[in-house]
């Protein structure tokens, strides 16, 4: 099911890493988290050509430059070969882990993520969540299942 809204935490405007970005990569980040086909695990198909048509005056080179800046700042993980992009902290920052049904949707989508680079980055984020002390109820089990799935070849 396509997402109908995006969560942007107001504390993003006090995050020194985000504030260090120029305006266009910041806008690209907002653009990415508001895409309807962004999965609940934070993964989206890498489509810079399509994204370059989303605003007047935007071109492919600008999109690729913005994505490169976001990757260098670790806001996204990009696998060009797999044509996948991960918003690295999405499960954590969007509080996906607090919603067991949404977390299960993330778990289901993770099965189709082909990039080992992205799967590894998701594993790191899941470990951060598991060690945060903020998991409750069914989410504990689902995060444990996700971590187990990450260990499988």
Chain segment 60-70, per-residue pLDDT in tens: 999 999 999 99
Q: Domain 11-91 has what CATH class?
A: mainly alpha
The yes-or-no verdict on residue 151 having pLDDT over 70 is no
Instruction: Give the model's pLDDT for residue 30.
Output: 95
> Average pLDDT in the 101-109 region?
84
> Average pLDDT in the 13-38 region?
96
Q: What are the pLDDT digits (tens) for 27-39?
A: 999 999 999 999 9
> What residues contact 108, with CB distance under 8 A and at least 6 apart?
none
Rounded Cα–Cα distance for residues 110 and 149 (Å): 9
Asked if 113 contacts 149 with a C-beta cutoff of 8 angstroms, the reply is no
As annotated, the residues of the chain forming the CATH 1.10.10.10 domain(s) are: 11-91
pTM of the full structure: 0.88
Q: What are the pLDDT digits (tens) for 78-97?
A: 999 999 999 999 988 888 87
Instruction: Give the model's pLDDT for residue 1.
Output: 52
Tokens of 69: 């800046």
The yes-or-no verdict on residue 45 having pLDDT over 90 is yes
* Phi/psi at 56 (5° precision): -60, 135
> Average pLDDT in the 118-141 region?
85
Give percent above pLDDT 70 in the chain.
95
Rounded Cα–Cα distance for residues 65 and 106 (Å): 28
* Phi/psi at 131 (5° precision): -90, 0
The yes-or-no verdict on residue 104 having pLDDT over 90 is no
Mean pLDDT is highest, among 22-36, 106-120, 135-149, for 22-36
| pLDDT confidence band for 6 (50 / 70 / 90) | confident
Identify the H or E element spanning 79.
strand 76-79
């Amino acid at each position: 099911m396509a997402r109908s809204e995006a969560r942007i935490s107001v504390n993003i405007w006090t995050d020194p890493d985000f504030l260090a970005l120029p305006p266009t990569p910041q806008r690209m980040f907002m653009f990415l988290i508001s895409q309807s086909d962004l999965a609940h695990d934070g993964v989206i198909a890498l489509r810079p050509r399509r994204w370059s048509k989303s605003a007047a005056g935007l071109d492919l080179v600008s999109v690729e430059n913005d994505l490169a800046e976001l990757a260098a700042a670790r806001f996204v993980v990009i696998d060009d070969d797999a044509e996948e992009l991960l918003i690295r902290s999405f499960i954590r920052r969007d509080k996906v882990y607090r919603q067991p049904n949404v977390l299960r949707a993330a778990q289901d989508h993770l099965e189709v993520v082909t990039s080992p680079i992205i799967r590894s980055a998701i594993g790191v984020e899941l470990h951060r969540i598991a060690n945060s002390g903020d998991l409750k109820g069914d989410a504990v089990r689902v995060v444990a299942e996700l971590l187990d799935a990450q260990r499988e070849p």
